[in-house]
């Protein structure tokens, strides 16, 4: 439940509003296409986990197949993803709260959200687990209720301010591709990939099970079906309930849809999406603290990030991540209107790197299997290696789209420039990290990154 709930976050609850306003109903194609990539990703991860169970997941596989430097880069690019995702989430919370407190500066709400999740994470792992379970359950139940109620409304043609819900909204008012813009859904792929981020944690959790032969295939298939239902199904229903021109940036499309029915239901939905964003941010802070501790144990992160507090929580790593989130609060001071999209698109670069790493590891594993160097697994990725190449080419294509998107060229170049600077810095620090590891034999290889 926690893993599935963690995969449902602000990419859908907030990001879909702006993208529906731009691409209209054709956004369904974006979510469906990225869902196909996510399907192959989960199958690739499933084969890797069946080869060797590892709580460190793709980082330990990168070390096995491509060496220490690849694992080091994979760990830090994953950190880029998680850290900027946290910035997106505290920004989303501030945007949601502005519905009720429009005169309150966005950065104040973001700072309060950061203080809350930081306090929870520094208390104890038990407090995190309790909160996260109920928050994840709330997200899943809320989306399930939306799918059921939304389907009924479409079937009966429920009227929103004299506009009936129905399939006709898929072609109204400007057609399935608004204003003939058939490429809009393609140009928004990076934001949709962000919405699917963290599904790889489901494979990680499955990798820690003792009954791998039965649990892993079941877990991988279940998350694929559920994510497809929640994501593609939700965007399809949103497109059927109201004309795409009703949705807008800066408001959850779920709040827009329910608020058009009764204002108090919109307020209730706003409470739910705030809880969802707090849950995702809480989960990200929890995970990054433990990733940093594992990296520090191998000499690949600052030593202070390995330190635990009195309750056994990796306070050093959590505080470093919280500092990055605080930089996001500052971003909300100077660029409140762009802060969310800057964080989302920067996180997308880290996500693409992570997913490409998973595909590359699976392809390396299959090559060894074909050479007879390792035993075949009982859950092979279908269509390999072609499906792996398909996933890699599509993911690289998303970065290319960001480079050639003339509608937001300056914005995309700023995002890619910042991500490239981070990547280059991490890459060129490797010789120093390697020398430090050689000087200190007590550093253990971080083949296992735990999320406990």
Is it the case that residue 202 has pLDDT exceeding 70?
A: no
Using a CB cutoff of 8 Å and minimum separation of 24, what contacts does 125-128 make? 125/286, 125/311, 125/312, 125/313, 125/452, 128/282, 128/286
* Res 127: pLDDT: 67
* Res 111: pLDDT: 96
pLDDT in tens, 113-139: 999 989 888 887 666 667 777 777 888
Average pLDDT over the chain, rounded to an integer: 84
pLDDT in tens, 341-382: 889 888 989 999 999 999 999 999 999 999 999 999 989 999
Is it the case that residue 293 has pLDDT exceeding 50?
A: yes
pLDDT in tens, 31-73: 999 999 999 998 998 899 888 876 556 788 998 999 889 989 9
How far is the C-alpha of 29 from the C-alpha of 38, rounded, in Å?
14
Domains of the chain: 2-285+337-434 (1.20.1740.10)
The dihedral sign for the CA sequence 199, 31, 195, 393? positive
Is it the case that residue 1 has pLDDT exceeding 60?
A: no
Query: Residues of the chain with pLDDT > 70: what percent?
Result: 90
Burial 50-72, CB ≥16 within 10 A → b, else e: bbeebbbbbbbbbbbbbebebbb
**Phi and psi angles of residue 143, each rounded to the nearest 5 degrees, phi first:** -70, -35
Query: Residues of the chain with pLDDT > 90: what percent?
Result: 33
How far is the C-alpha of 394 from the C-alpha of 401, rounded, in Å?
10
Label the pairing between strands 163-164 and 159-160.
antiparallel
Is it the case that residue 18 has pLDDT exceeding 80?
A: yes
Q: Judge contact between 289 and 321, C-beta under 8 A.
A: yes
Tell me the whole-structure pTM to 2 decimals: 0.88
Is it the case that residue 431 has pLDDT exceeding 80?
A: yes
* Res 404: pLDDT: 77
How far is the C-alpha of 375 from the C-alpha of 32, rounded, in Å?
34
Six token digits for residue 51: 């080869």
The helix (H) or strand (E) run that includes residue 163 is strand 163-164
Cβ neighbours of residue 55 closer than 8 Å, sequence gap 6 or more: 204, 207, 208, 448, 449, 450, 451, 452
Is it the case that residue 314 has pLDDT exceeding 70?
A: yes
- Cα dihedral value 403, 407, 409, 415, nearest 10: -80
Is it the case that residue 389 has pLDDT exceeding 90?
A: yes
pLDDT in tens, 391-406: 999 999 988 888 777 6
- How many CB atoms are closer than 10 A to CB 329? 23
């Amino acid at each position: 439940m926690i893993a599935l709930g963690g995969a449902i976050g602000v990419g859908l609850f907030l990001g879909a509003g702006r993208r529906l306003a731009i691409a209209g109903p054709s956004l369904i194609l974006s979510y469906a296409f990225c869902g196909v990539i996510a399907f192959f990703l989960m199958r690739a991860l499933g084969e890797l986990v069946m080869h060797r169970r590892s709580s460190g997941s793709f980082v330990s596989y990168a070390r096995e197949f491509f060496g220490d430097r690849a694992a080091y880069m994979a760990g830090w690019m994953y950190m880029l993803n998680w850290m900027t995702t946290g910035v997106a989430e505290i920004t989303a919370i501030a945007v949601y709260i502005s519905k009720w407190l429009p005169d309150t500066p966005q950065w104040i709400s973001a700072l309060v959200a950061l203080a809350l999740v930081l306090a929870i994470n520094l208390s104890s792992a038990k407090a995190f687990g309790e909160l996260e379970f109920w928050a994840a359950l709330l997200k899943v139940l809320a989306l399930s209720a939306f799918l059921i109620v939304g389907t009924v409304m479409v079937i009966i043609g429920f009227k929103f301010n004299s506009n009936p819900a129905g399939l006709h909204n898929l072609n109204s008012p400007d057609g399935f591709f608004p204003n003939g813009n058939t490429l809009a859904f393609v140009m928004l792929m990076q934001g949709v990939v962000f919405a699917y981020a963290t599904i790889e944690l489901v494979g990680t959790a499955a990798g820690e099970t003792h009954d791998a032969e039965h649990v892993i295939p079941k877990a991988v298939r279940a998350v694929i079906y559920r994510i497809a239902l929640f994501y593609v199904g939700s965007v399809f229903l949103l497109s059927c309930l109201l004309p795409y021109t009703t949705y807008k940036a800066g408001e959850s499309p779920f709040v827009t849809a329910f608020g058009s029915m009764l204002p108090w239901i919109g307020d209730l939905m706003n409470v739910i999406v705030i809880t969802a964003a707090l849950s995702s941010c809480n989960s990200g802070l929890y995970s990054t603290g433990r990733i940093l501790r594992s990296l520090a144990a191998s000499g690949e992160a600052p030593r202070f990030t390995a330190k635990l507090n009195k309750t056994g929580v990796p306070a050093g790593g959590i505080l470093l991540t919280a500092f990055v989130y605080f930089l996001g609060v500052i971003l909300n001071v100077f660029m409140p209107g762009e802060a969310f999209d800057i964080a989302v698109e920067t996180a997308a670069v880290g996500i693409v790197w992570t997913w490409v790493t998973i595909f590359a590891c699976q392809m390396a594993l299959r090559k060894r299997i074909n050479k007879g160097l390792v035993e075949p697994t009982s859950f092979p990725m279908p269509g390999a290696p072609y499906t792996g190449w398909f996933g890699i080419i599509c993911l690289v294509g998303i970065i290319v789209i960001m480079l050639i998107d003339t509608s937001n060229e300056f914005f995309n170049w700023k995002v890619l420039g910042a991500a490239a600077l981070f990547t280059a810095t991490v890459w060129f620090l490797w010789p120093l990290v390697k020398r430090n590891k050689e000087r200190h034999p007590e550093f253990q290889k971080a083949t296992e990154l735990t999320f406990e």
